[in-house]
């Protein structure tokens, strides 16, 4: 259930991209500070939403950010990172849920975990993460027992589930766990009136996490003989999609009822990016960079390129669809200071070890020019690069898929 909300940086404005990275790095560093280096392996995209929600409700203060040292994931650069109770709560939740994930893999005897010595070691690691998460949670007034109880009930529910069992019966423990985590962000931020709507948003987010995980893994689970909620209950993908769409609408409605100091990043992640995650899981979202156009209701390319209405005018030689095509001229990049040989080699090693040279947009280790990774493909539209058009809700432009969440994008 980790990582269903994976925003493409092409869709985030520079401000929101900086904010998102601040929360991601803040979660990672909170895990290191409270629980040691090894705990950083549980850093995940979905966990940082807890940190985002906490900060979105709180009044802005200088203490919400600190400058972190160079990191290979940031091309050996310093950066402002989130700090405080939101990041620590995200760390506690991530540890407990990662522990549950490990135990689930042990129970399924996945890969190396089918070997008893490896499984025994994994259980010890999971138990230590449970204790660590409980310690941090207690310091923040959050009882992680609700998460552990949900995980324990999940196993029993799966054993009893069969054809005809309502799918929502299977997703209930995950919904309960995420609802508790989301609601506690209101307590930390001093906005108790937000607890109820955020609990509802968290419940539906947990439902989506469980559903999308089941959809994405169904074929692999069938091949390996692993338990899958959709297969076990006989739920069709059409019904799963209906439940997912209902949950998306519910999340948006719940967010409207919550009071935020600055909820733009939370809105982008939980209203826009969550919808894209659903489209990606059900294979109804196609990258406009590859298809060259918008999608029709049937999911087919419309043939009209996104930049036709909103992008550069025809004839612009720098436009993706201009006379030069994809291989046409590009505007020159501003000159940047080159790195020395040794520092460049260190940055190259960091980029290679963290897969950024394969799966992302990165700076050349020596020239600092922007480069695209070998597998650089995203599911975003060419025009959705964050125009800051809407100052109240999200950083998107008017072509963002006809947002129906009530914002003025």
27-39, pLDDT tens digit by residue? 999 999 999 888 9
d(CA 293, CA 47): 33
| DSSP calls for 209-237 | HHHHHHHHHHHHHHHHT---HHHHHT--H
CB 295 within 8 A of CB 301: yes
Residues 348 and 271 both lie in one domain: no
Residues 185 and 72 both lie in one domain: yes
Asked if residue 112 belongs to a domain, the reply is yes
Residue 81, Ramachandran bin (φ over 0: left; ψ between -120 and 50: alpha; else beta)? beta
d(CA 209, CA 213): 6
Residues 26 and 119 both lie in one domain: yes
Asked if residue 288 belongs to a domain, the reply is no
pLDDT digits (tens, 9 = 90+) for 246-294: 999 999 999 999 999 999 999 999 999 999 999 999 987 544 444 333 3
d(CA 382, CA 108): 41
CB 48 within 8 A of CB 182: no
pLDDT digits (tens, 9 = 90+) for 107-165: 778 778 888 888 899 999 999 999 999 999 999 999 999 998 988 898 899 999 999 99
The secondary structure element, H or E, covering residue 256 is helix 237-257
Asked if residue 162 belongs to a domain, the reply is yes
Residues 217 and 363 both lie in one domain: no
Residues 369 and 248 both lie in one domain: no
d(CA 143, CA 89): 11
CB 209 within 8 A of CB 174: yes
Read off the CATH number of the domain in which 18 is found: 1.10.600.10
What does residue 206 show for φ and ψ, rounded to 5 degrees?
-60, -40
Paired tokens of 271: 């209203």
Residues 346 and 265 both lie in one domain: no
Residues 247 and 347 both lie in one domain: no
Domain span at residue 356 reads 340-389
Residues 151 and 242 both lie in one domain: yes
Residues 359 and 260 both lie in one domain: no
Q: Which residue has the higher pLDDT, 372 or 139?
A: 139
Paired tokens of 405: 């969440």
Residues 84 and 202 both lie in one domain: yes
| Count of structural domains, the chain | 2
pTM, entire model: 0.73
d(CA 46, CA 31): 15
Asked if residue 217 belongs to a domain, the reply is yes
Structural domain ending residue among the three candidates 259, 281, 303: 281
Residues 183 and 275 both lie in one domain: yes
Structural domain ending residue among the three candidates 263, 281, 299: 281
Paired tokens of 332: 């020159």
Asked if residue 133 belongs to a domain, the reply is yes
Residues 133 and 35 both lie in one domain: yes
The secondary structure element, H or E, covering residue 9 is none
């Amino acid at each position: 259930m980790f990582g269903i909300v994976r925003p493409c940086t092409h869709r985030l404005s520079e401000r929101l991209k900086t904010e998102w990275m601040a929360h991601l790095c803040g979660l990672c560093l909170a895990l290191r500070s409270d629980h040691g280096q090894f705990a950083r392996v549980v850093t995940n995209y979905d966990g940082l939403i807890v940190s985002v929600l906490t900060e979105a409700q709180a009044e802005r203060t200088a203490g919400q950010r600190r400058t972190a040292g160079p990191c290979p994931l940031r091309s050996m650069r310093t950066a402002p990172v989130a700090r405080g109770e939101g990041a620590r709560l995200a760390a506690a939740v991530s540890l407990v849920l990662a522990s549950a994930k490990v135990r689930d893999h042990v129970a399924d005897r996945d890969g190396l975990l089918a070997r008893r010595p490896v499984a025994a070691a994994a259980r010890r690691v999971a138990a230590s993460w449970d204790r660590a998460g409980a310690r941090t949670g207690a310091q923040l007034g959050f009882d992680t027992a609700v998460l552990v109880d949900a995980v324990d009930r999940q196993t029993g529910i799966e054993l009893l589930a069969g054809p005809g069992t309502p799918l929502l019966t299977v997703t209930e423990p995950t919904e309960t766990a995420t609802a508790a985590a989301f609601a506690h962000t209101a307590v930390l931020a001093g906005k108790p009136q937000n607890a109820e709507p955020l609990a509802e948003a968290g419940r539906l987010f947990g439902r989506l996490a469980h559903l999308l995980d089941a959809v994405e893994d169904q074929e692999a689970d069938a091949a390996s003989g692993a338990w899958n909620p959709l297969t076990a209950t006989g739920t069709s993908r059409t019904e799963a999609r209906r439940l997912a769409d209902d949950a998306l609408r519910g999340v948006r409605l719940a967010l409207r009822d919550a009071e935020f100091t600055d909820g733009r990043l939370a809105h982008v992640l939980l209203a826009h990016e969550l919808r894209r995650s659903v489209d990606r899981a059900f294979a109804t979202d196609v990258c406009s960079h590859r298809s060259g156009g918008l999608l029709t209701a049937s999911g087919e390319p419309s043939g009209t390129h996104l930049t036709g209405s909103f992008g550069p005018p025809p004839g612009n030689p720098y436009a993706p669809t201009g006379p030069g095509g994809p291989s046409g001229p590009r505007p020159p990049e501003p000159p940047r200071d080159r790195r020395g040989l040794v520092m460049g080699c260190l940055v190259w090693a960091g980029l290679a070890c963290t897969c950024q040279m394969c799966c992302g947009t990165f700076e050349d280790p020596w020239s600092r020019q922007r480069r695209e990774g070998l597998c650089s493909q995203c599911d975003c539209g060419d025009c959705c690069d964050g125009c800051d058009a809407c100052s109240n809700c999200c950083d998107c432009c008017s072509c963002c898929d006809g947002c129906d969440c009530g914002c003025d994008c």
